[in-house]
Amino acid sequence: MSSTLEASGTTYEDRNPATGAVIAHVHETTREELDAAVRSARKAFDGGKWSNMAASRRAKVVYKMAQLIAERAQELMMLEVRDNGKAVSTAKGEMGAIVDCFEFYAGAATKTYGETMPPPLPTYLANTVREPVGVVGAIIPWNFPLLLASWKVAPALAAGCTVVLKPAPSTPLTAIELGKIALEAGVPEGVLNVVTGSGRELGQWIVEHPLVDKIAFTGSTATGKLVAKTAADTIKRVTLELGGKSPTIVFDDADIDAAVAGALYGIFYNAGQACEARSRVLLHRPIYDRFVASFVERAQNVRVGNPEDPQTHVGAITLPEQFEKIKSYCEIGRSEGARSLIGGIPASLDGECANGLFWTATAFEAEPGHRIAREEIFGPVVTFTPFEDEAQAVALANDSDYGLSASVWSNSIGRANRVARAIRSGTVAINTPYAVFPGVPFGGYKQSGYGRELGMETMRLYTETKSVLTYVGEKAMNPLGL
């Protein structure tokens, strides 16, 4: 960030959740510094060096960012593992996805086409151009710090926007590196500004700031509602990627082994701290017992452990408050009468992880009305609920305030696609646990948010449409005849 202000000296401690060790002292951005960061982004935008740069040149710079991230993938991966506590096996896949995201949007920079309309009058030409929306406030949660930053920064830069990027307080380190990478790649100074802070007010200041044009927010539904309300005061453009309670639906004609493997991944990937975690498994009655028995047996082999061990499946829980939330939901589940099948307690580790935050792979049998089957837990906790027929499966899947993602397992193409169409969520994956790829729009229905990331249509959300009307008639117009 280019600023004439002296940076304040206040810092806060950033800890590795797997060990409890302090790994960084992070700058506490003051309100004046945030204002300077926004003004720096505004100046860079209005100056036009980036926003008016030929799209093909911008594309090359964004592509260069992809290359630099690829070169530094190992180092960024370990930084993410230590900052977030996620298993290295998870973080590794993310690094590839981040490179893919920057590459995809580098390509998109030269493809944000306008349109030519049929002339409204014979003497007119009418066309639209897509212009960058302006200064973007990008606000990121802690579960996929660099990945989710890349989902916003890559399309914003490709579109010609400037950005104020705010990582979550507990996981700021890779965002800071992204700022350095941008400068090294040739992004002009002032275009990408990274601000860090320990409190919720920093995000609030960004959303309130009159010089910010758009907020791209990922986080909880509760905070998303606040963001939308605050942004309304200045009519900011807003996209919201919020929470979820996504179902896995398994029919009796599915490949049960594959569906169990998919369901295990769907909840234990990233320790269940994933917005699209498949946290409720809906099972066709005839295969219910077989599926549950197989899941529980295989879940016993889930390795909860040191995130830096390549064999670990489930790393640390990132925040003490998140750990407490998981604990309290397991208690709620038991008190509501949900039947505990496996886990439901903290995992104790030895050695350097003895003070870390770890939770066992957990599964409950639950009624659809149980809170653990309805509310987002954001941890390695899954519920199983039976259904009798297709109509009930769809009804249960849709009986949620959320609508982010879903998996359907069936070997009937007709049934799987019928159910996919009936489910009110932004993504439906059929017979696969993997459903998030650059190029494929990702986002929510209902209270999981609005707007889409990762797709070509995302470029529309970082641009404004300008209509240009040109009079090409021979005779000058004189509408009032004066």
- Based on the shown chain and the rule CB under 6 A, indicate whether residue 380 belongs to the binding site for ligand NAD: no
CA distance 99 to 118: 40
Fill in the amino acid letter for 353: C
CA distance 217 to 169: 15
Question: Looking at beta carbons only, is 227 or 304 nearer to ligand NAD?
Answer: 227
| Choice from 134, 145, 244, 433 touching ligand NAD (CB under 6 A) | 244
Cα end-to-end distance, the chain, whole Å: 54
Residue 413, classed as helix, strand or coil, is helix
- Based on the shown chain and the rule CB under 6 A, indicate whether residue 207 belongs to the binding site for ligand NAD: yes
Question: Looking at beta carbons only, is 26 or 393 nearer to ligand NAD?
Answer: 26
CB 30, min distance to ligand NAD, A: 16
- Based on the shown chain and the rule CB under 6 A, indicate whether residue 28 belongs to the binding site for ligand NAD: no
- Based on the shown chain and the rule CB under 6 A, indicate whether residue 234 belongs to the binding site for ligand NAD: no
- Based on the shown chain and the rule CB under 6 A, indicate whether residue 200 belongs to the binding site for ligand NAD: yes
- Based on the shown chain and the rule CB under 6 A, indicate whether residue 449 belongs to the binding site for ligand NAD: yes
- Based on the shown chain and the rule CB under 6 A, indicate whether residue 243 belongs to the binding site for ligand NAD: yes
Tell me which of 80, 103, 177, 241 is the catalytic residue.
Answer: 241
Residues 391-410 that bind ligand NAD (CB under 6 A): 404
Span of 93-101, 176-184, 214-222, 299-307 interacting with ligand NAD by CB under 6 A: 214-222
CB of 153 within 8 A of CB of 163? Answer: yes
- Based on the shown chain and the rule CB under 6 A, indicate whether residue 223 belongs to the binding site for ligand NAD: yes
Other beta carbons within 10 angstroms of residue 120's beta carbon come to 10
Q: What is the DSSP string of 410-431?
A: -S-HHHHHHHHHHS-SSEEEES
Can you name the residues that pair with 25 across neighbouring β-strands? Answer: 13
453 is known as an active-site residue: no
CA distance 246 to 277: 6
Tokens representing residue 401 in the block: 């305030």
- Based on the shown chain and the rule CB under 6 A, indicate whether residue 145 belongs to the binding site for ligand NAD: no
Question: Looking at beta carbons only, is 172 or 262 nearer to ligand NAD?
Answer: 172
Tokens representing residue 145 in the block: 């710090």
- Based on the shown chain and the rule CB under 6 A, indicate whether residue 140 belongs to the binding site for ligand NAD: yes
| Choice from 17, 132, 155, 169 touching ligand NAD (CB under 6 A) | 169
Can you name the residues that pair with 364 across neighbouring β-strands? Answer: 340, 383
Other beta carbons within 10 angstroms of residue 439's beta carbon come to 13
CB 150, min distance to ligand NAD, A: 12
| Choice from 86, 166, 370, 446 touching ligand NAD (CB under 6 A) | 166
CB of 430 within 8 A of CB of 417? Answer: yes
- Based on the shown chain and the rule CB under 6 A, indicate whether residue 438 belongs to the binding site for ligand NAD: no
Tell me which of 28, 80, 101, 275 is the catalytic residue.
Answer: 275
- Based on the shown chain and the rule CB under 6 A, indicate whether residue 386 belongs to the binding site for ligand NAD: no
Pairing verdict, β 214-218 and 11-15: unpaired
- Based on the shown chain and the rule CB under 6 A, indicate whether residue 270 belongs to the binding site for ligand NAD: no
CB 62, min distance to ligand NAD, A: 21
CB of 280 within 8 A of CB of 381? Answer: no
- Based on the shown chain and the rule CB under 6 A, indicate whether residue 86 belongs to the binding site for ligand NAD: no
Q: Which residues contact 16 (CB under 8 A, 6 or more apart)?
A: 23, 82, 83, 85, 356
Question: Looking at beta carbons only, is 155 or 169 nearer to ligand NAD?
Answer: 169
- Based on the shown chain and the rule CB under 6 A, indicate whether residue 378 belongs to the binding site for ligand NAD: yes
Fill in the amino acid letter for 323: F
Nearest C-alpha neighbor of 145 from the set 206, 198, 80, 86 = 80
Question: Looking at beta carbons only, is 353 or 404 nearer to ligand NAD?
Answer: 404
Question: Looking at beta carbons only, is 243 or 344 nearer to ligand NAD?
Answer: 243
CA distance 321 to 326: 9
CB 86, min distance to ligand NAD, A: 13
Q: What is the DSSP string of 186-218?
A: TPPTTSEEE---SSTHHHHHHHH-TT--EEEEE
Pairing verdict, β 192-194 and 402-403: unpaired
- Based on the shown chain and the rule CB under 6 A, indicate whether residue 247 belongs to the binding site for ligand NAD: no
Tokens representing residue 16 in the block: 């590795």
- Based on the shown chain and the rule CB under 6 A, indicate whether residue 203 belongs to the binding site for ligand NAD: yes
b/e per residue, 72-96, with b = 16+ CB within 10 A? Answer: bbeebbebbbbbbbbbbbbbeebbe
- Based on the shown chain and the rule CB under 6 A, indicate whether residue 168 belongs to the binding site for ligand NAD: yes
Question: Looking at beta carbons only, is 109 or 227 nearer to ligand NAD?
Answer: 227
330 is known as an active-site residue: no
CB 275, min distance to ligand NAD, A: 3
As annotated, the active-site residues are: 241, 275
Interface ranges with ligand NAD (CB under 6 A)? 139-143, 148, 166, 168-169, 200, 203-204, 207, 218-220, 223, 226-227, 241-244, 275, 376, 378, 404, 444, 448-449
